[in-house]
Amino acid sequence: MVKPRKKRNVLYPPGMDYFTPHGYRPLKKINEVILTIDEYESIRLADHVNLKQEDAAKRMNISRPTFTRLVDSARKKIADAMVNGKVIRIEGGNYIFLRNRMRCVACGNIWDTVASSKDELCPVCNSENIEDLGRRFGRGRSYRHGSERKH
Ligand SMILES: [Zn+2]
């Protein structure tokens, strides 16, 4: 029997899922780098929040060596994209979102939320044109806190 892989904690969905070099024309899929959502989270924790790897590993509920491999892989992909002018797409991986986030399509504001709510308005501009970021990433979505669950 294959032991199912333990899902890695990711605090909330990335605000953006696609980065392109200026002036890029997406002709070939081969020019894409796929950064998984757990790799994204390792970069966020290690290089943006500036946690020690041991603490970042605890937050993601993985071992320190696993975290090191994850963040090394993420950094290599980002370097490849920057040096070779590739697109970075964030998708897939083995993860669970602990919280969700919403993005206002009208003004670009991003905020945390515990559950997805269709009734929610942008707290900045009151627009109803709201994107549920957790839903966008689809697979792996399963909030510990909140009303919406999908398995
Ligand atoms: Zn807004």
What's the CA-to-centroid distance between 84 and ligand 1, angstroms? Answer: 35
Q: Would residue 47 count as lying in a domain?
A: yes
What's the CA-to-centroid distance between 40 and ligand 1, angstroms? Answer: 25
The pairing of beta strand 87-90 with beta strand 32-35:
parallel
Q: Would residue 136 count as lying in a domain?
A: no
Rounded distance between C-alpha atoms, residue 4 and residue 6, angstroms: 6
CA dihedral of 129, 133, 139, 141, whole degrees rounded to 10: -110
Structural domain total, the chain? 1
**In a 3-state reduction of DSSP, which class is residue 71?**
helix
pLDDT tens, 76-98?
Answer: 999 999 999 899 999 999 999 98
Query: What is the structure's pLDDT at 3?
Result: 63
Prediction pTM value? 0.80
Q: Would residue 56 count as lying in a domain?
A: yes
Q: Please check the confidence at residue 141 and state whether its pLDDT lies above 90.
A: no
Q: Would residue 52 count as lying in a domain?
A: yes
What's the CA-to-centroid distance between 104 and ligand 1, angstroms? Answer: 5
Query: What does the angle CA 49 – CA 16 – CA 41 come to, to the nearest 5 degrees?
Result: 35
Q: Would residue 147 count as lying in a domain?
A: no
Q: Would residue 103 count as lying in a domain?
A: no
Domain that holds residue 66: 15-20+28-95
CATH at residue 44: 1.10.10.10
